Amino acid sequence: MANVDMMAQEKTEPDSAEFSAQALYDKCVALSRNLWWSWHPDVLHLFRDLDPIRWRQLDHNPVVLLREFTPERLAQRASELVLYSRIQQAYRRLREYMQTKPAWGRTHTGVLGARPVAYFSAEFGIHESIPIYSGGLGVLSGDHIKSASGLGVPLVAVGLFYDQGYFRQRTDENGYQVEEYVHTNVEDLPMEPARDAEGKPITVAIETRDGTVLAKVWWMQAGRVNLYLLDCDVEGNNPQDRELTARLYGGDERTRIRQELVLGVGGVRALRALGINPGVYHLNEGHSAFAPLEVIRHRMADNGLKFDDALRETARQTVFTTHTPVPAGHDRFGPDLVEEHLGPLRDKLGISREQLLGLGRVEPQDDDEPFCMTVLALKLSRHANAVSSLHGHISRRMWAHLWPWRVEEEIPIGHITNGVHIPTWLAWQMRQLYDRHFDAGWIHRMGEAETWQHIYQVDPGELWETHNALKNVLLSFVRRRLTRQARRRGDSEESIDAIRYLLDPRILTIGFGRRFATYKRADLIFRDPDRLAAIVNDPERPVQLIFAGKAHPKDEPGKQLIQRIIQFSRDPRFAHRVVFIEDYDINVCRHLIQGVDVWLNNPRRPLEASGTSGQKVVLNGGLNFSVLDGWWAEAYDGTNGFAIGDGTSHVSDEITDQRDAESLYEALENEVVPMFYSRDADGLPHDWITRMQNSIASLAWRFSAHRMVMDYTLAAYLPAAGGLSRAMPSSG
Ligand SMILES: *Cc1c(COP(=O)(O)O)cnc(C)c1O
């Protein structure tokens, strides 16, 4: 009702006011300040159209772009481009969006309405213009909150604000990674200080054994979800602590535990100061596992409970998602660091040093065992899950010794497979194709299988044409990036000129973009360079490869992998066939996953917990070519992509690598390449297009973030909040 009234009121406003330059400008600013724009391509295109060149130069940041306009110039530009009604309409849609509660949330979220989910994550990847993420984990958090917003799941998100974010990647003339840290001005982001009931900006204080750390709290809006970010760059902190949250995953162990203290304990205090009383705490990865300790403290103080009882009640409302089967991927700290940072809280909890340390150990009495954040999270939550079916099995085995009296199948770690936020990753051109052929309003049913069956009614020629348009967009993007890289390196004009002729849209194009961790084996395809050279240079059926990805600054072997790929890209055997583009981020990822024919993923099984980039590829018509690991182990059905290996691995890495490489080459030579180049009289690769349709129909809905958030809500959030429940799938 309120909604309709306001619209009616707006209509009665005199036109001059509604269309004044200032009013128009204000509407654009309002649009730029809710990240809702980032998953609505038509709204995003509005900003881009205002000044396409600056838009690109500014990393697609509408806040900065608008600052470069005066209201008058904006109005002029809007009239040249006939943008008035588009801006008005986008503004109305945002307002309507904010004032309505979606049907799914209305009918399924029950008790969460009164007490929302508090979702904790060390990083959020929402858009490339907000550099507070490093990779997969952050993008997953971003997709999670976007889907929570879309479905109407009551949820607030808590993270850290890093003014230098993760690093920007460059490579030197030897192909060695160089990290550049770029400072972001807070005025350039759609953030404001979070305020308490009296309107005062919130600062939280966290005591340690050697002083207090302060953090101010920022507020961002991602659709209906409020995101709160803690930032230690505050007056009153000593110079080191002011830098504490400057960089994502930077610094030493002490920096790390301090960041996690701020995220977990500071995060819970921030929610309190905001007057938010969550019904559920969701710890997305172990980084935030200190949060429940602070909740326990509140419970003891507010309700007079004993520690053990407060722990039990807190664990009941805590959901923990573990993300890595790689042992080194779990944070571990020595006892002194734990005591230094958790000591004051421990005093309030009334527990001994040994008791606290025991909570982070598999064997509480084992003084040699470091304090592990994953163990802490498992002990402080009653709802734990892995992120794919296979990862569930691995996690139950990995943590079985925490429940020595249980058989493996009964280890209480279930799984909810990751998914991606469709409106964020779906190319505009594909969106229009689906709009033409799917039922009206299909986007509201994107988590349902039936919605996607219509892909079989799409004319193969139309699907192929759309895919090729996207492939061309990708190849131009790659050439542009390669030109920029070459200029910066000071390459000759001649070689810069040659980039224009690099990459051919008729050639089968394989993409590989991800973190360069060694287990992901970016160089597996180069294991037999001559065999690969024969494949990519086949005169009738050539292949080209595009690589991108960052290595963690301290991961020397990862950096060497990058160097190796870059050296191959300069090797005459691979001239014109292999390229590496720098600075993999959300923007680079989006181009790659929207334009490749094939997405290659060959981790050493079973070390990929889930992976999500391949799910983004599905939506846009690309085919996955992957080891049967993570999500692909449960997604591949023989007709919706290609498999590497048979889902087994040898105890020897060397033998596993040898076998997987052999399988990769065989599949490439006998299956992938022939199918791509087998054309009918109409010039179309019909078998290939059928596979694209199979992939879209069978996978798009299942591996969507909407399906994922629905699963979390029904299988974890509602039970944790004490509402109706559904069992979380565990062994199978
Ligand atoms: C989706 C995404 C990832 C996750 O990729 P995986 O292949 O699943 O590891 C990492 N980084 C960025 C920027 C992404 O957009």
pLDDT for 354-390, tens place per residue?
999 999 999 999 999 999 999 999 999 999 999 999 9
Segment (H or E) for 511: strand 508-513
> Residue 677: phi, psi to the nearest 5?
-95, 0
Contact between 44 and 52 (Cβ < 8 Å):
no
Residue 63's Cα: distance from chain center in Å? Answer: 22
Which of 568, 600, 593, 566 minimizes the C-alpha distance to 582? 566
The confidence score (pLDDT) of residue 726 equals 52
Sign of the Cα pseudo-torsion (579, 38, 427, 612, in order): positive
DSSP secondary-structure letter at 668?
I
Q: Of all atoms in ligand 1, which is nearest to the CA of residue 140?
A: 1
The confidence score (pLDDT) of residue 447 equals 86
Ligand 1 lined by 171 (C-beta under 6 Å)? no
Tell me the mean pLDDT in the region 109-126: 96
Ligand 1 lined by 585 (C-beta under 6 Å)? yes
Tell me the mean pLDDT in the region 331-349: 97
CATH 3.30.413.10 for domain 445-703 = no
Residue 638's Cα: distance from chain center in Å? Answer: 27
The confidence score (pLDDT) of residue 6 equals 43
Ligand 1 lined by 611 (C-beta under 6 Å)? yes
Task: Identify the three-state secondary structure at position 382.
Answer: coil
Which of 156, 303, 128 minimizes the C-alpha distance to 220? 156
∠ CA 118-124-129, nearest 5°, is: 140
Determine the Cα–Cα distance for residues 440 and 444; give it in Å rounded to an integer: 9
Distance 420 CA to ligand 1 centre (A): 10
Ligand 1 lined by 627 (C-beta under 6 Å)? no
> Residue 180: phi, psi to the nearest 5?
-120, 130
Domain 114-348+374-418+714-721, CATH among 1.25.40.10, 3.90.1150.10, 3.60.21.10, 3.40.50.2000: 3.40.50.2000
Segment (H or E) for 345: helix 335-349
The confidence score (pLDDT) of residue 16 equals 58
Ligand 1 lined by 613 (C-beta under 6 Å)? yes
Which of 38, 39, 139, 631 has most ligand 1 atoms within 8 Å of CB, for mutation?
139
Which of 82, 81, 91, 100 minimizes the C-alpha distance to 43? 91
Classify burial at 17, counting beta carbons within 10 Å of its beta carbon; exposed 0-12, middle 13-18, buried 19 or more.
exposed
Residue nearest to atom 1 of ligand 1 (CA): 613
The confidence score (pLDDT) of residue 14 equals 45
Residue 619: pLDDT over 50: yes
Give span(s): CATH 3.40.50.2000, the chain: 114-348+374-418+714-721, 445-703
The percentage of residues in the chain with a pLDDT greater than 90, rounded to a whole number, is 93
> Residue 596: phi, psi to the nearest 5?
-75, 155
Q: What is the pTM of this model?
A: 0.96
Which residue bears the tokens 């998953």? Answer: 39
